[in-house]
């Protein structure tokens, strides 16, 4: 069994919309009340309340306030867990010596949504190719909201949980499905062995010299974003015009994100469908995109250039690409090899004689004393492919399991195979 997440966009009619908004407000109210209770209790008695103490008061709340009954008891519990998680994260970070913010009261407009932690109280009905219905509630009070989206797993899926959330004024339903391994499997059309180097000049370069150009999603939208931000700067903060422009800016960012995700989905699906072995570097975007700003006493050099580079680096969506390659390679039965960058140094290493040839970022050609000359990125793609063919190298293709919330049953854990263990 695997777990897969599918997101549907909801198209509620006005009555349904009013109802989800009201529900969301009630969840928010519960969250804030629970937070207030925790703070109050600690101030008065010095003791903290646990999640279970709060869960046990839910029946009383429902008896006193009938409107909460509609929301479903498990969904209400989930909102209390959300608060509990906030506290856990807070204390974990305090313990680790960081300075986290205390869990905050939330305005209803900033409360993102609510969640059904199990299949009770809702149903996903897929009808036709891109149409679906999300049924919320039970009995004659249930509402069936029109949704758009699809999953490719067929009829044999089991619904696991549902999150209803709001983003830029639109509502989405994110469903976790439990899918059999066979239903996840992807067809494979080729059995090539390819090394890939992801980069800024070209989004990807292969060991045979083929490239995928960088679509520069952000760069094409930047002028428009700048215009909007300039306009907004002239408006009074909080005014209707200010809010209207903020909304447009948020939508532009969302659009860039959607374009990027779509593109990366297509490219990674194509790659795993063509390849037996895919080799690339392990990814450490956090280190690569560290700010150059430095401190007040010791300011960094070329801060603006580095921040531009960081913007481009992050806009490549490399971690997204790696994550997708990870699970898609598994689905297609393709081996994904991730080279250890520290040990291998693919951009410095010569693919022919394996010597280290130091380069700076602006050296675009690899010129080795041994006579091997190649375009820089193509050379490093060739190096990682050789590394993939060397047994015992590489790091685990999927180092981290999918993050799971606590309180879930153990049997749902997803396996994380180390694909590098197989020999070629």
Contacts to Zn ion by CB under 5 A:
350, 352-353, 368, 370, 372
Identify the CA nearest to 419 among candidates 205, 276, 284: 276
- Helix then strand then coil, in percent of the chain rounded to 5, is 45, 20, 35
Smaller CB separation from Zn ion, 188 or 372? 372
Show Cβ contacts of residue 318 under 8 Å, excluding neighbours closer than 6 positions.
198, 283, 285
Would you say the C-alpha torsion 405, 407, 413, 418 has a positive or negative sign? positive
CB 192 → Zn ion: shortest distance, Å?
25
CA-to-CA distance for 76 and 117, rounded, in angstroms? 10
Run of H or E including 379? helix 376-388
SS3 string of 82-94?
HHHHHHHHHHHHH
- CA-CA distances (angstroms) from residue 298 to 262, 293, 308? 41, 9, 21
Smaller CB separation from Zn ion, 166 or 352? 352
CB 366 → Zn ion: shortest distance, Å?
8
Neighbours of 211 (CB within 10 A): 17
Tokens representing 9 are 């966009």
CB 350 → Zn ion: shortest distance, Å?
3
Instruction: Report the C-alpha dihedral over residues 136, 118, 28, 168, rounded to 10 degrees.
Output: -70
CB 330 → Zn ion: shortest distance, Å?
35
Answer whether 29's CB lies under 8 Å from 114's CB: no
CB 370 → Zn ion: shortest distance, Å?
3
- At residue 134, the 3 state secondary structure works out as strand
Smaller CB separation from Zn ion, 18 or 353? 353
DSSP assignments along 181-213, one per residue: HHHH-------EEEEEEE-SSEEEEETTS-EEE
CA-to-CA distance for 211 and 204, rounded, in angstroms? 6
CB 357 → Zn ion: shortest distance, Å?
7
CB 351 → Zn ion: shortest distance, Å?
8
Q: 344 phi and psi, to 5 degrees?
A: -85, -35
Smaller CB separation from Zn ion, 180 or 375? 375
CA-to-CA distance for 209 and 231, rounded, in angstroms? 45
Smaller CB separation from Zn ion, 71 or 368? 368
CB 196 → Zn ion: shortest distance, Å?
21
Report the DSSP beta bridge partners of residue 108.
Answer: none
Smaller CB separation from Zn ion, 181 or 363? 363
Would you give the DSSP letter of residue 57? T
Smaller CB separation from Zn ion, 120 or 370? 370
Smaller CB separation from Zn ion, 193 or 372? 372
CB 372 → Zn ion: shortest distance, Å?
4
Identify the CA nearest to 12 among candidates 3, 4, 2, 22: 22
Smaller CB separation from Zn ion, 245 or 350? 350
CB 345 → Zn ion: shortest distance, Å?
14
């Amino acid at each position: 069994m695997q777990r897969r997440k599918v997101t549907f966009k909801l198209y509620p009619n006005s009555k349904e919309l009013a109802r989800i908004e009201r529900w969301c407000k009630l969840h928010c109210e519960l969250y804030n009340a629970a937070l207030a209770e925790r703070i109050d209790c600690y101030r008065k008695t010095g003791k903290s309340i646990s999640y279970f103490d709060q869960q046990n008061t839910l029946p009383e709340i429902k008896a006193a306030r009938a409107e909460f009954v509609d929301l479903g008891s498990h969904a209400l519990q989930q909102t209390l867990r959300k608060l509990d998680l906030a506290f856990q994260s807070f204390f974990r970070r305090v313990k680790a010596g960081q300075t986290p913010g205390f869990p905050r009261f939330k305005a209803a407009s900033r409360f993102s949504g609510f969640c059904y932690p199990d299949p009770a109280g809702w149903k996903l009905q897929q009808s036709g190719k891109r149409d679906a219905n999300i049924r919320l509630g039970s009995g004659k009070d249930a509402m069936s909201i029109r949704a758009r989206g699809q999953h490719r797993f067929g009829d044999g899926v089991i619904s696991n949980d549902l999150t209803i959330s709001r983003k830029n004024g639109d509502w989405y339903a994110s469903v976790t499905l439990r899918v059999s391994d066979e239903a996840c499997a992807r067809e494979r059309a080729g059995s090539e062995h390819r090394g890939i180097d992801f980069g800024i000049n070209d989004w990807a370069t292969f060991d045979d010299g083929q490239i995928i150009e960088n679509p520069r999603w952000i760069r094409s939208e930047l002028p428009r974003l700048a215009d909007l931000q300039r306009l907004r700067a002239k408006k009074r903060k909080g005014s209707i015009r200010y809010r209207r422009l903020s909304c447009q800016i948020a939508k532009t960012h969302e659009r860039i994100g959607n374009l990027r995700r779509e593109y990366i989905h297509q490219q990674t699906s194509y790659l795993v469908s063509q390849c037996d072995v895919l080799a690339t570097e392990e990814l450490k975007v956090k280190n690569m995109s560290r700010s150059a700003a430095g401190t007040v006493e010791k300011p960094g050099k070329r801060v603006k250039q580095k921040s531009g580079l960081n913007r481009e680096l992050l806009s490549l969506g490399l971690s997204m690409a790696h994550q997708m390659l990870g699970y898609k390679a598994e689905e297609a039965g393709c081996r994904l090899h991730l080279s250890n960058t520290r040990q291998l140094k693919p951009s410095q290493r010569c693919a022919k004689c394996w010597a280290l040839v130091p380069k700076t970022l602006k050296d675009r050609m690899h010129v080795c004393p041994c006579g091997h000359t190649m375009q820089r990125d193509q050379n490093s793609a060739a190096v990682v492919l050789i590394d993939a063919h060397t047994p015992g190298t590489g790091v685990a293709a999927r180092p981290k399991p999918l993050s799971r919330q606590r309180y879930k049953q153990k049997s749902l854990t997803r396996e994380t195979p180390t694909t590098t263990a197989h020999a070629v």
